[in-house]
Structure 1
C-alpha cells in the first residue's frame, strides 16, 4: 500500500496533449492520491471539470500567441516556435514546487518538454521522483527502425552509423543551439553542471519513463530509456460532451455517414486544408463534417452537404463516420483506432509524420502530407481508401485491440512503486546523459 501522494502532472500543448494526463490523473486520484495538473491557463476549466486540482503554467494570452504563429505548423520551424515560448515559462514549475509544503510526499509526472523544468526542481527537493510520460513513439529518440526524421521516412536498410550521424547533425544544427544555452543559464543559477545535448538530457531526467501509447502502435526500441513501463492510449471523454449537438444529430440522421475533417484543436492556419477538403468532398459527392474551434478558417459559404462544428465528441461521432481526415495528432489517431474508422492522415509537423506512417503500416488508413494535399490528390486518396475491400476488417481488428487494452492499472502501479523507492535509487538505473 502506497501512502497518499501529491502527484503534480505538468503538461503543455493542445487539448489532445492534455486529455491523456487527465485520464491518468483521475485514475491516481481514485487510488487516494491528491492530483494537481499544471498546464496552460486556457485548459483550467477542462482540468476542473475532470475533478482535479489545477495550476496555471502559462497564461491564455501566451497560449494564443503560440497558436497564432503560422510557423508552428512548419516541419522545420515548428519546434523553434514552441521553444521560444516554452523558455519563458521554465521557472514556473520550480516556483510551484517551491511553494508547496516541504514535508509533503511529492511526485512529478511530466510531458517530455516539461522534463527540463522538472530537473531544476531537484535543487529544492533532492531525490524528487519524476516520471516522463511520452504520448507518441517519435517523442522517444531511437536509431532503430522505423525511423522518421520530420517528413523523411528512413528506409530499414540505412546503416546504423548513418542514422546516428543524422541525429547528431539535427542536434548540432537545429535543437541544441536553440535550447542548451537557455537551459544552462538556468542551471548555473542553481549550481548545476551544464548539459551538452537537449534530447539526451531530457531522456535521462526521469526515474521512470512511461509510454502513453499502445505497444502494438509503437513497439519498444532497444535504445529507449530504462526503467520504463509500457502503457497504452489514455482516452479521455469530457464530462457532458458525449452527446452530440442537436444540429449534428439531425445532420447524421439525414444521410449516409459523412467524412469528418479536422486539422487539430490548436490549428488556426488551416484555411487551405478546409478549401481543399470542400473541393474534394464535392468532387466525391460525399457529405462531410468540418471540425474547428476557429471558424475563420472555413470557406465563406458551406453547402448543405457540409456541416461545421466547433467541437464534437469523437467517441460519439466517429462510429457514425465514413472516415476521419486529420492532422496526425496522437489523440485523433488513437480516437480513430478506438472507433474502428478509416483514417487519412494529413500531417503538418512534429510527430504527425511518424504517426501517419504507423497508421498506414497498420493497414487502417493512408497518409498525404499537408504540403501535397491538393483537392485532386485529397479526392484520389479518399476514393482509394474508401474503395479498399480489406479496410473494415483491419479497422475492426485494431479497434478490438484498443478496447482490450487496460493500461491505467499498470501505469498507476508503476508510479506508486516508484514512490516507494529510496530517493535517487531509481535514477541510478536510467540510461543516457546524466544531469
Structure 2
C-alpha cells in the first residue's frame, strides 16, 4: 500500500509508504527537522503476533523483536573487521561508479541496515532479512557471477541470516570464515522468497534452527521490468474486461491465439527478452481480438480500446526506463577490460608487445573485479560512452 502525494509546485507525483508520513501539526513550520523524540515516536510501533517468530511461547512480541535486532547488531559489529566484508560496510561511492544507480534500484549495505535497526525501522523479521538479501542480489546484478566479490556477498548474507535466526551461533566472524570456504552456490538465504511465517510450521521446527527458514521459500532472481509488466496487467485486467473478452471464445479466437493470462504466464516464465517484446505480444493479441469483433460500437470493442490505451500509457514508463538502462555501455565488460589491462601492465613478468593494437588482439581472459575498490592499488579509469 502506498500514498500518492501531489505537490503544489506541480512536480511529478510521488509515492510514499505510510510509515514515512505523519500528519502535520498546525503550528509546525515548513522544513522544520524532526526532533529525536519525534523520531522515537515514529518508531514506537508495537509488534503483533507473526511479525517476529518467537523462540519461546512465553516471550512477548516486543522481547522477541529486541532479540532479533540485538543479534543483528551483534553480527554486524563482529563482521566489520573482516577484509572480505569491507565493500559492503558503506553505500557505494557514486563518484567512482556513476552507473550504479542505473543498474541497482534498491541499494543496501551494512551501514544502512545498522541505522535502520537503531531507528526501529524494521517492523517485521522479513523486512530485515530482505534488506540483508539485497546486499548479495545487488552485487550479483552489478558484477560477473564468477567474481570473488559475489561469493563474498552471498557468504555475508548466509552468515547474517543464520546468525540472526539461529540461537546456536555466538560469533558471526567465525561463522563467516567457516562458510567462506564452502561453495556459495549451495547457499539458499539470498535466493529465498520471504513471506509472513506460519506459526504452526515454525513451532514444529527444531529449537536450534527456529525461524531460520520458516518464512522463506526458494525464488528465482527476476528482472525489475518483468515485475512491473506483471503489475500493469494485474491492474488493468479487471473482471469486467475479462467477462467481455470471455465472449470471444465462441469465435474460436483463442484456439489460435494465447489468452491474456497465458501471455502473463509466459512473462513470468522468462520467455520475453525485453518489455518491448511483451508489449508487442499484448498489442498483437488486442488487435486480433478487435478484428474478431464485427460491431466496432460494441461494448467489447470499447473495452479493448480502453485496455489498449491504458496498457500503452503504463508500458511507456517501463520501456523508457529499460531503454535508458540498456543504452548505457556494458559496464561489466568495460570494468573487467580496464582492470585486466591494468593488471597486465603491473605484472613484472608480462612480456607483451609494445603496440596497443597487439594488446587489443590478445586473447581475453576471465577477470574478477570489485564493485567498489580493487585488491591492492586502486584503479581509476574513464569509460568511453561511445564504446
TM-score of the alignment, normalized to the shorter chain, above 0.5: no
Larger relative contact order (CA 8 Å, sep ≥ 6): 1
Higher helix proportion: 2
TM-score class, shorter-chain normalisation, is under 0.3
Radius of gyration: which is bigger?
Answer: 2
Higher strand proportion: 1
